[in-house]
Chains A and B, each alone.
Chain A
Amino acid sequence: MNTTDELVSARDIRKAFLGYKVLDGVDFSVRSGEIHALLGENGAGKSTLIKILTGVHRPDSGTVRVGGEAVVVRDTLHAQQLGIGTVYQEVNLLPNLTVAENLFIGRQPRRFGLVDRKTMSERAKVLLAQYDIHIDVSADLARYSVAIQQLVAIARAVDLSGSVLILDEPTASLDRHEVELLFSVMRKLRDRGLGIVFITHFLDQVYEVSDRITVLRNGRLMGISPTAALSKVDLVSMMLGRTLAASTEREKQPETERREPLVSFSNYGRSRSISPFDLDIAAGEVVGVAGLLGSGRTETARLLFGVDLPEKGSATMDGKTIRIASPRDAIRLGFGLCPEDRKIDGIIGDLSVRENIALALQARRGWLRRMSSREQAELADRFVKALDIRTTDIEKPVKLLSGGNQQKVILARWLATGPRFLILDEPTRGIDVGAHAEIIELIKRLCHEGMALLVISSELEEIVAYSTRVRVLRDRVHCQDLTGDEISADGIMRAIAAQTGATA
């Protein structure tokens, strides 16, 4: 490998948080004049790697070299001085300031000690003209589309740093036309000799714009390859491939005749969230939902549970039409949802394990029919035993439990309500191996007991283990159902990697 034109390189980077290995001997480099896609699912270690390159975190071991010289990146400012600029997915500019102020805050041109707004505007115009952006730079940034804001952020980063540009999911909220605009800017910068790190979860875009691909999974380097030399199926298998060893054997599912659906949704959809889809789920059935990050998995769950409202479509349960306008409606119908983000949408951190378990049942019973502390304790004890929740006692604030046990508490919260239809969004993310296997067993057991389940997961082996049917999502579209023998990790990967044709 030619290392002379490497702008930034990282060798054998290791990083652990609280003993949990986030990066385990990862290599990464960016050359001058390339667009380098950095890929991996949630928890793969992409963000941590970026944060090490930009000085937010320090590696536990390993070296970072800039222009061939080993450096310790102190903070983002230092990274900037070294030539590394970053643009995050959530545009980290200030929409309440003008475009020019955003470009020059902290280094405004001055005249007689005061900020010279006129010179600042002129310089801003010149700067943006390089990107073919001709806008009123003295207007608030908020007036412009996310795409323009994104480009302004890029202009700022390049102007400040100038050798390496890291783009963290820049296309997540852009439409096709805006993506093309962004890509043309990226290509132009590449031709100017910049090294661009491009993080995305849209595989089509990877093939469209990148020159080289690095894939991470669970903190390990899975491979580095020129884009042209890597097939899509190989790429997906690098990203999602086998990770679980034991306990995930697919059971021989009895070939059941088509059962009457318990709940069915037809033409259910919401613009800019998920395209309209049909979905039937019968009692005793687990529908696994597979797809890459950003393919519309969580959006589907939110829609089904009434967190977001469908713009079109209808739903029935037991053959009767139902309307789900809020989580409360859904819960009344016997739905439950373990959300993807446990800390924000799941646990009530300061409340005890007991209260967290009793909460949904209590909310459904209404405030007047209080569950006594004893009832709550009995309920909690029962589930602490049944799910093997490891806590010193049920009065402990739930925020002090480990991730896996928190997940079990939320599961217990829903099981306590005796749900008929349970939605689990990434139920095994970020939890230890033991709890992982237990949750998979639990899903199988609940299914046998006749519950209808929809389980979203990035772990393909896991989906294969418990699903009676697998729904594959791609680019916010429900695009394929896999049944019977089609359900295998390879089959799912092929379905995910399948060419979508003209993307929206």
Chain B
Amino acid sequence: MNNSLASGLRRATPQLISLAVILFLNWLAFPGFFDLRIQDGRLFGSLIDVLNRGAPVMILAIGMTAVIASKGVDLSVGAVMAMAGAVAATMTVEGYPLMAVILTALAVGIACGLLNGFLVAVLDLQPIVATLILMVAGRGIAQLITEGVIVTFNDPGLIFFGTGSFLGLPMPIIIAALLAIAVILLMRRTALGLLIEAVGVNRSASSYAGINSKLLLIFVYTLSGFCAALAGIIAAADIRGADANNAGLWLELDAILAVVIGGTSLLGGRFSILMSVLGAIIIQAMNTGILISGFPPEYNLIVKAAVIIMILLAQSASFAGIGGLFVRAPSAAKKADAS
């Protein structure tokens, strides 16, 4: 056990160092960064803020990790967030009980995920193409639900999901943590994780080995839809309203970025939910850092672009270097085989 913990830490070294550097810079910019205090039985402080603000992307990244591990991508999560938020807000305003509101909103996410999964697994569409459809139409549907206005609500039950606290921690953090634990258990205590990785690395060989790859693909997109709906509920509860135009805008890209920072390859295969969550925290720490150091929040985008380019360069350097040895060797041998 100790062994696997140590190797896990070793693998996470670049990410942990990046996070430490970012947090350190944040501390330089704002000396009170690491201060925590308890007020009304609840923890406050910039660190808690980072986690709290980062929770929706963490949740999206959890589902996105599974999708990317299967060699796919889900561009629709932002739009699904908007839809789920719109459903939750509208139903709350109309007086439905909290339980029904939550379940319906989650069901919307699951339905969207099933649609994406069907398009990818059964119709064999490229994931980018398949999920693009909902990315475009989803926001329109969300506006249809809210009838184009920002639906605000005052139901304390729903608001609790966004701004409430439990055991001194904000609810979004609790929910993200519980979801991460649940999905990690689901992936690693059952064989799902291994089977998804196998399909992501080599779908053909996986079906020769008797894996039902279609069902697995549908599952990962459904999980992603569910996560997006959950993030949508939290985002709506946080601002006490559903803004169909802006809820979850560009968050699909943040989620993909979090997964990539976490080290899961866009080509599918090995994944780690925990690392993706760490990736989401890194992104949010950057956002917060830019904010508190007095730079306009607009710099965020440039920093994100720089991060993507750096990761691409690093990956291609490792392909050309260490990777090249391994990648090239079998292909040359294969040419020899095929002659």
Interface residues of A (CB under 8 A from B): 17-18, 20, 22, 42-49, 51, 305, 307, 326-328, 331, 337, 339, 343-351, 355, 359-360, 362-371, 399-400, 403, 413, 429-430
Interface string of B117-135 (1 = CB under 8 A from A): 0000000000000000000
Q: Which residues of B contact A362 (CB under 8 A)?
A: 191, 194-195
Q: Which residues of B contact A403 (CB under 8 A)?
A: 333, 337
Known: A337-B208, A343-B330, A347-B202. A355 touches B339 (CB 8 A): no
A305, A344, A355, A359: which contacts B211 (Cβ < 8 A)? A359
Pairwise interchain contact A46-B208, C-beta atoms closer than 8 A: no
12 A-B pairs with CB atoms under 8 Å apart are A22-B339, A45-B339, A47-B339, A344-B205, A346-B208, A348-B198, A349-B201, A350-B270, A355-B198, A360-B210, A365-B191, A368-B191
Pairwise interchain contact B197-A351, C-beta atoms closer than 8 A: yes
Q: Which residues of B contact A370 (CB under 8 A)?
A: 189-191, 194
Residue of B nearest to A366 (CB): B191
User: Is B10 in contact with chain A by the CB < 8 A criterion?
Assistant: no
> Which residues between 175 and 208 of chain B lie within 8 Å of chain A, taking CB atoms?
189-192, 194-195, 197-198, 201-202, 204-208
B190, B198, B208, B337: which contacts A339 (Cβ < 8 A)? B208
Minimum CB–CB distance from B249 to chain A (whole Å) comes to 34
Pairwise interchain contact A348-B201, C-beta atoms closer than 8 A: yes
Residue of B nearest to A331 (CB): B210
Q: Which residues of A contact B198 (CB under 8 A)?
A: 348, 351, 355, 359
A49, A348, A369: which contacts B205 (Cβ < 8 A)? A348
Pairwise interchain contact A349-B202, C-beta atoms closer than 8 A: yes
Pairwise interchain contact B211-A350, C-beta atoms closer than 8 A: no
> Which residues between 251 and 289 of chain B lie within 8 Å of chain A, taking CB atoms?
269-270
Residue of B nearest to A346 (CB): B205
User: Is B336 in contact with chain A by the CB < 8 A criterion?
Assistant: yes
Minimum CB–CB distance from A353 to chain B (whole Å) comes to 14
Pairwise interchain contact B210-A47, C-beta atoms closer than 8 A: no
Pick from B195, B204, B336 the residue with the most CB of A within 10 Å: B336
Interface residues of B (CB under 8 A from A): 189-192, 194-195, 197-198, 201-202, 204-212, 269-270, 326, 329-330, 332-339
Q: Which residues of B contact A360 (CB under 8 A)?
A: 209-210
Known: A18-B332, A343-B330, A351-B201. A47 touches B338 (CB 8 A): yes
Docked CA distance A364–B210 (Å)? 7
Docked CA distance A349–B197 (Å)? 11
B208, B209, B339: which contacts A43 (Cβ < 8 A)? B339
Docked CA distance A49–B90 (Å)? 71
Docked CA distance A7–B197 (Å)? 52
Docked CA distance A17–B270 (Å)? 30
Docked CA distance A448–B193 (Å)? 38
Pairwise interchain contact A307-B194, C-beta atoms closer than 8 A: no
Known: A331-B210, A345-B204, A348-B202. A17 touches B195 (CB 8 A): no
Minimum CB–CB distance from B235 to chain A (whole Å) comes to 31
Pairwise interchain contact A369-B191, C-beta atoms closer than 8 A: yes
Q: Which residues of B contact A430 (CB under 8 A)?
A: 333, 336-337
Known: A348-B198, A362-B195, A370-B189. A20 touches B209 (CB 8 A): no
Docked CA distance A327–B205 (Å)? 11
Minimum CB–CB distance from B155 to chain A (whole Å) comes to 38
Q: Which residues of A contact B207 (CB under 8 A)?
A: 326-327
Closest 4 A/B residue pairs (Cβ): A47-B339, A331-B210, A363-B210, A48-B339
Docked CA distance A43–B192 (Å)? 38
Docked CA distance A251–B269 (Å)? 45
Known: A47-B339, A370-B191. A363 touches B209 (CB 8 A): yes
Docked CA distance A369–B202 (Å)? 22
Residue of B nearest to A362 (CB): B191
Docked CA distance A327–B207 (Å)? 7
Pick from B195, B326, B330 the residue with the most CB of A within 10 Å: B330
Q: Which residues of A contact B333 (CB under 8 A)?
A: 17-18, 20, 403, 430
Docked CA distance A399–B334 (Å)? 12
Known: A20-B333, A350-B270, A368-B190. A363 touches B195 (CB 8 A): yes
Minimum CB–CB distance from B185 to chain A (whole Å) comes to 11
Known: A18-B329, A367-B190. A48 touches B336 (CB 8 A): yes
Known: A22-B336, A42-B337, A351-B197. A345 touches B189 (CB 8 A): no
Beyond A47-B338, A350-B270, A355-B198, 8 extra complex contacts between A and B, CB < 8 Å: A20-B336, A42-B337, A43-B339, A331-B210, A337-B208, A343-B334, A362-B191, A430-B336
Pairwise interchain contact B201-A328, C-beta atoms closer than 8 A: no
Docked CA distance A326–B210 (Å)? 8
Known: A22-B336, A345-B208, A349-B201. A367 touches B191 (CB 8 A): yes
Q: Which residues of A contact B332 (CB under 8 A)?
A: 17-18
Q: Which residues of B contact A20 (CB under 8 A)?
A: 333, 336
Docked CA distance A1–B189 (Å)? 72
Q: Which residues of A contact B205 (CB under 8 A)?
A: 339, 344-348
Pairwise interchain contact B329-A348, C-beta atoms closer than 8 A: no
Pick from B190, B209, B329 the residue with the most CB of A within 10 Å: B209
Q: Which residues of A contact B195 (CB under 8 A)?
A: 362-363, 367
Docked CA distance A47–B334 (Å)? 11
Minimum CB–CB distance from B201 to chain A (whole Å) comes to 5
Q: Which residues of A contact B326 (CB under 8 A)?
A: 399-400
Q: Which residues of B contact A45 (CB under 8 A)?
A: 339
Q: Which residues of B contact A355 (CB under 8 A)?
A: 194, 198
Docked CA distance A42–B201 (Å)? 27
Pairwise interchain contact A43-B337, C-beta atoms closer than 8 A: yes
Docked CA distance A403–B211 (Å)? 23
Docked CA distance A350–B198 (Å)? 8
Residue of B nearest to A44 (CB): B339
Docked CA distance A351–B269 (Å)? 8
Docked CA distance A429–B338 (Å)? 10
Docked CA distance A291–B210 (Å)? 28
Minimum CB–CB distance from B154 to chain A (whole Å) comes to 43
Pairwise interchain contact A307-B190, C-beta atoms closer than 8 A: no
Q: Which residues of A contact B338 (CB under 8 A)?
A: 42, 47
A51, A350, A367: which contacts B201 (Cβ < 8 A)? A350
Docked CA distance A413–B206 (Å)? 12
Docked CA distance A360–B189 (Å)? 18
Q: Which residues of B contact A371 (CB under 8 A)?
A: 191
Pairwise interchain contact A327-B208, C-beta atoms closer than 8 A: yes
Minimum CB–CB distance from A156 to chain B (whole Å) comes to 24
Residue of B nearest to A338 (CB): B208
Pairwise interchain contact B201-A363, C-beta atoms closer than 8 A: no
Docked CA distance A326–B207 (Å)? 9
Known: A17-B333, A20-B333, A345-B204. A328 touches B190 (CB 8 A): no
A328, A343, A347: which contacts B210 (Cβ < 8 A)? A328
Pairwise interchain contact A327-B210, C-beta atoms closer than 8 A: yes
B206, B208, B336: which contacts A17 (Cβ < 8 A)? B336
Docked CA distance A48–B338 (Å)? 8
Q: Which residues of B contact A18 (CB under 8 A)?
A: 329, 332-333
Pairwise interchain contact B204-A17, C-beta atoms closer than 8 A: no
Residue of A nearest to B331 (CB): A343
Docked CA distance A419–B339 (Å)? 33
